[in-house]
Structure 1
Amino acid sequence: MQVLVVLAVALVAFFGVALVSRAALRTFAPAHQKPTFRDMPLTASFGIAVILIYVLVAVFAPLLAPFKESEVVGAQYLPWAAPYYLGTDKLGRDMLTRLIYGARNTVGIAFATTALAFTVGSILGIWAALVGGWLDQWLSRFVDALMAIPALIFSLLLLTIFGTSVLSLILVIASVDATRVYRLARSVAQGIVVMDYIEAARLRGEGKWRLIRREILPNAMAPLVAEFGLRFCFVFLSISALSFLGLGIKPPTADWGSMVRENATLITFGDITPLLPAGAIALLTVAVNFVVDWQLHRASGLKE
């Protein structure tokens, strides 16, 4: 019975957030964008609302958190009660505060990592497709060799060698994920570089960077944007997994993956506190996928 009540509340919350979000987007969007938001599905509006909430929480974490990020405020594993509304962890730190700061650290590092991987992978992929020849072959075979190694094992190996600082974490995961972006960007660009307008631009004497910036990139943007959302989810989950294993974001920095590991003992006592950071990870992943699905549907030109 309790499960049915929880599911009913979750369903009502989903539709409520989705409807309010879609109404707000239709009201405040620029005139030329209103038709787009008028036809958007409820799942996409829900995803946009959730992403916006996460961004606001990450940006205003110091104002929203009741305590400092690493401040010990009470005894270990205090129950949910004021002023510790989600209890305390194994060191006596406020869980609500850690959850709020985790949005800034986990999501921020995941976004920076995805942006770096995407910049490097897409530029190299498009450049290889445009130039071709030995450069394309050398880069593609190198990427194939890296992709043959399981991503998590490769990340664990590199982090063991270079350390587990935030900079090392970003560079290692970006290097691993850039290979996936490279393959997609190269594949999309290979279908574009054979078009007549690319040949016409070459005959006009346009350089390679201008071809990439003015001709190829705008026409490859739709699948690349969708891939950015999916790649963000994978990076986000990878960072959380590494933190859970103890090789991600280092304490005392708040991170959702390490929060699950540090408080996992509570699950054996029927306390759902360790599931809160796990739920935050899952909710953001689902929200991003909702928006990505909507963008892919729009880019495909298909109609309901």
Structure 2
Amino acid sequence: MKRIPLSALIGLFITSLFLLSAIFADFLAPYGVAEVVGDVWEPASDRFLLGTDSIGRDLLSRMIYGGQVTIFVALTATALSFSLGTSLALIAVVVGGWFDMALSRFIDLIMSIPTLIFALVVLSVVPANLVTLILVMGLLDVTRVYRLARAVAVDINVMDYVEAARLRGEQTVWIVFREILPNALSPLVAELGLRFIFMVLFLSTLSFLGLGIQPPAADWGGIVKENKEGLIYGISAALIPAIAIAALAISVNLVADWVLSKTTSLKGGRNG
């Protein structure tokens, strides 16, 4: 921690700002998320720091509450996909045989269907509430996590310490979570940041298409959709959430790169 590179510090600072604003949204937002407080697309002023949106709501308040929803949904869906995808992949590798083959072929079948199309079909027939969004996003992303975790676990599964654990009579759960998982964390940590950003972009895309977070609730993709017509008149209300998404993506990737380099160096030090 004493030698954090500048890029990681910048990433930690920006990521922390987003997380803190999401946690304390109720205290930071000057107005309610759906409260109409001014005219349409008012410019930035002392009263409205980012101006107003397409129906006169404070854009800063919408951004703060939208960030809270976006980060919460993305984090929860990422946690679901990683916990389920990693567990299935490691168990499949350790058990092997027909179980590994059947599960891998099923994952390949699901991956052959474009993720966005799959989500649009599902969300068009079920209510698009928070629980549904998290389940759909998380379960669809399990396939990507599974493929990565399995590729890493296949190499680890043939190591001497894993064979020694089998000879000691350790159970499958022990081998998975005490022998393989700790040694697979390095690439999984880097992928975690990427999958989180994918979830943010995925949710924003769904909301932009009208199947994500439903009004009057806010998320960054929905705010872009609500204010996109303003771009014709030179109004930047739709660009602000796009900039926020880009800043979050860059900052999280900077932190993920630093964590990956630290875990890789620590692992190499232990092996040496």
Task: Compute the TM-score of the two structures, normalised by the length of structure 1.
Answer: 0.85
Q: How far apart are residue 108 of structure 1 and its match? A: 0.9
Local SS of the residue matching 2:31: coil
1:75 aligns with 2:39: yes
Instruction: Say which of 91, 115, 121 aligns to 1:151.
Output: 115
Matched with 2:226 is: 262
Q: How far apart are residue 300 of structure 1 and its match? A: 4.2
Deviations 1:187-218 (A, max 9, x none): 11111111111111111111111111211111
1:42 aligns with 2:6: yes
Local SS of the residue matching 2:100: helix
- The code of the aligned residue for 2:177 comes to R
Structure 1 residue ranges without an equivalent (≥5):
1-32
Alignment of 1:150-229 (within 5 A): 150-229=114-193
Q: How far apart are residue 257 of structure 1 and its match? A: 0.3
- The code of the aligned residue for 1:147 comes to M
1:126 aligns with 2:90: yes
- The code of the aligned residue for 2:166 comes to R
Matched with 1:100 is: 64
Deviations 1:229-266 (A, max 9, x none): 11101111000111111111111111110101101111
Contact 2:41 2:235 in 1 (8 A): no
Once the two structures are overlaid, the 10-residue window that deviates more, 227-236 or 77-86, is 77-86
- The code of the aligned residue for 2:36 comes to V
1:279 aligns with 2:215: no
Structure 2 Cα separation of the partners of residues 101 and 215 of structure 1: 41
Structure 1 Cα separation of the partners of residues 229 and 168 of structure 2: 67
Deviations 1:253-291 (A, max 9, x none): 111101011011111111212100010001000111112
- The code of the aligned residue for 1:129 comes to V
- The code of the aligned residue for 1:107 comes to I
Using CA pairs under 8 Å that are at least 6 residues apart, name the structure with larger relative contact order, 1 or 2: 2
Once the two structures are overlaid, the 10-residue window that deviates more, 122-131 or 197-206, is 197-206
1:61 aligns with 2:5: no
Local SS of the residue matching 2:211: coil
The count of residues paired between Structure 1 and Structure 2 equals 266
Instruction: Say which of 224, 242, 252 aligns to 2:216.
Output: 252
Structure 2 Cα separation of the partners of residues 116 and 228 of structure 1: 11
- The code of the aligned residue for 1:294 comes to W
Alignment of 1:16-35 (within 5 A): 33-34=1-2
Once the two structures are overlaid, the 10-residue window that deviates more, 140-149 or 65-74, is 65-74
Structure 2 residue ranges without an equivalent (≥5):
none
Once the two structures are overlaid, the 10-residue window that deviates more, 120-129 or 208-217, is 208-217
Percent identity over the alignment is 51
